[in-house]
Chain A
Amino acid sequence: MSDRRKIATRESYGRVLEKLGAEYPNLTVLDADLVGATKTAYFQKSYPERHFDCGIAEANMMGVAAGLATEGFIPVVSTFAMFAAGRAFEQVRNSIGYPALNVKIVASHGGISVGEDGATHQCNEDLALMRSIPGMTVVCPADGVETEAAIRAILAYDGPAYVRLGRSDVPMFHDEEHYRFELGKGVTLREGRDVTLFATGLCVYESLRAAEILSANGIDAEVINLHTVKPIDEALVIRSAKKTGRVVTVEEHSTVGGLGSAVCDVLCEKAPTLTLKIGIPDVFGRSGSAQKLLDHFGLTGEKIAQKVLDWMKDPA
């Protein structure tokens, strides 16, 4: 599994956005002085008249997007997750979420894989924040193929949506030709009997790697990609939890309020299941290379497998 082509989800986003510019004449793109980093630069180059660099002013950018949406344009707004979901939270809630406007917020640099910039720029809270807004769809693609499919899907959907992308290169493991993406539907990537690993974003691939290690240790793990964190695929979560009886959630996000919480919200009401939440454990990130940080926070296949093994032996 290690020789796969690697590409950052933000790069795939930039490429597909440029393609979609031709398909959607009412697509407008807004950025906040980060066109090179969020990769909206490709769209900007092809469609300069529909790309607006709003400067370092994210609050206003969200409002401008809202205004454009009221006039039938489809605004796609990009900046870092920290500033989209964090700084501009209230603008997203009140100017986009409350009026249920057709604005797509596509935020790059989610999670600790931002790397060297450190804690101030590593947003480990965006899924929690966006998930709390009524009517907001929240998507966290796992690789380039899924990113392209997710961007196409949210543009075809009418309503506010938040998509979280990453800065670092991640392996492309979905099959470009055959992958079918459906908003709100999880994808079972590996069937298993002993434990379910529900993962999102770059942790999906790492969970697949963990499942291989677990298999070598006699544990048959099911791996499910929950690319849509909201609305979560309740039926699939319940079905798999009932089948394996043990649940692990894996995300590059705080264990407060993200995928782990979304899964537990379903399970505690409808299928109580012992659950281990793997993620950033309610602490801030720090500087370092993305790979070293993923290892430091226990989000590599090896570390995930070890945590699951320890927990399966002694869940208390």
Chain B
Amino acid sequence: MNEIEKLQDLKEKAAELRRVIVKTVYEAQSGHIGGSLSSAEILTALYFSEMKLDPAQPRMEERDRFVLSKGHVTPAYYGALAMKGFFPLEDLKGFRKLESYLQGHPDRNKVAGVDMSSGSLGQGVSAAVGIALAGKLKGADWRTYTLLGDGEIQEGQVWEAFMFAAQHKLDNLCVIIDNNGLQADGSIDAIASPNPIDEKLRAFGFSVCVIDGHDFKEILNAFRQARNTRGMPTAIIAKTVKGKGVSFMENQSSWHGKAPNAEQFAQAWRELEVAR
């Protein structure tokens, strides 16, 4: 596959992931749809291009590690894992239901492909830092990725983790911030602004890339840059749109943790079919 075909393939996978997200949340009538849609390209790039993985051996030692620190976007995470082949897509029908193993937030003991249980905001990034540190102690060449929300970085623990990562020169760690600008209660700027995020992270000792989080070329470039950075961790600040791909969900914090009704689902599906 050449570069153009690869980018086209990733675009199609992201479109499919969006349909999976919307369907999963609709069928569960529960789940976090807005932040799942904003992170569709990031997760697609990780699972279908960047990370070394083998769905047949979910705990393969040489794999790259991933921690979903914004643990509520399981519709996107489980969707990517299922599309990659870690478990059957039809299992998503059980999402958030008592009979299912697919918990509302990631559980490393229940779901194949999940490296760390997460969900309580601010905690996943510390675990990712611990995993990256373990990689250094083992002298391994696998890398550790973690995805955070931009509201999540209001948690003080996140900055504790950033200080630790820079202190220990964890250049095998790549932190991605899904910068959609919205949190559950509204705009991050109107609530407790973490901006400017890039300057803060540079001051905390990170190599920082600011990219369009829906543009695969920029995402893959940023990952490449991160891989080539020595002596410091990388933070990719991915500018995204919450609810991306569904017109009436875009940039609406009200779609943070709400499921569409039948009519809304039908409209969302029509819009996402066009994107195919």
Using a CB–CB distance below 8 Å, which chain A residues touch chain B?
Answer: 28, 49-50, 52, 54-55, 57, 59-73, 75, 90-91, 94-95, 98-100
Contact = CB atoms under 8 A, between A and B. Distances in A.
Contacts of B1: none
Contacts of A100: 109
A36 to B, nearest CB: 20
A95 B156 CA distance: 16
A64 B157 contact: no
A42 to B, nearest CB: 20
B46 interface: no
B109 A95 contact: no
Given A60-B160, A90-B120, A67 B134 contact: yes
Given A54-B164, A57-B163, A63 B133 contact: no
A126 to B, nearest CB: 20
Contacts of B257: none
A99 B129 contact: no
A95 B164 contact: no
A54 B126 CA distance: 11
Interface of B: 67, 107-109, 115-120, 122-135, 137-138, 156-157, 160-161, 163-164, 167-168
Contact of A60 (B115, B134, B135, B164): B164
Given A63-B157, A70-B131, A99-B109, A91 B138 contact: no
Contacts of A69: 130
A93 to B, nearest CB: 8
B156 A64 contact: no
Contact of A91 (B115, B128, B132, B157): B157
Nearest to B125: A63
Given A28-B137, A94-B120, A99-B108, A67 B130 contact: yes
Contacts of A57: 157, 160, 163-164
A64 B164 contact: yes
A64 B137 CA distance: 13
Contacts of A73: 134, 137
5 contacts: A55-B167, A59-B122, A59-B160, A63-B130, A95-B118
Given A54-B164, A60-B164, A95 B137 contact: no
B133 A67 contact: yes
A70 B127 CA distance: 9
Contacts of B168: 52
Contacts of B164: 54-55, 57, 60, 64
Given A55-B163, A59-B160, A91-B123, 11 more contacts: A49-B137, A52-B133, A60-B129, A63-B123, A63-B126, A67-B127, A67-B129, A70-B130, A70-B131, A90-B123, A98-B107
A59 B126 contact: yes
Contacts of A90: 120, 123
Question: Which of A60, A69, A72, A73 neighbours the largest number of chain B CB atoms within 10 Å of its CB?
Answer: A60
Contact of B161 (A60, A75, A98): A60
A208 B149 CA distance: 55
Contacts of B135: 71
Nearest to A50: B137
Given A57-B160, A60-B161, A67-B134, A94 B117 contact: yes
A315 B115 CA distance: 55
Contacts of A28: 137
Given A64-B133, A73-B137, A99 B125 contact: no
A70 B115 contact: yes
A75 B123 CA distance: 17
A63 B109 contact: no
Contacts of A49: 137
Contact of B130 (A64, A94, A98, A99): A64
A75 B137 CA distance: 13
Contacts of A59: 122-123, 126, 156-157, 160
Given A62-B126, A63-B125, A99 B107 contact: yes
B108 to A, nearest CB: 5
Nearest to B158: A60
A65 B133 CA distance: 10
B237 to A, nearest CB: 21
Given A91-B123, A94-B119, A99-B117, A67 B128 contact: yes
A60 B157 contact: yes
Nearest to A93: B120
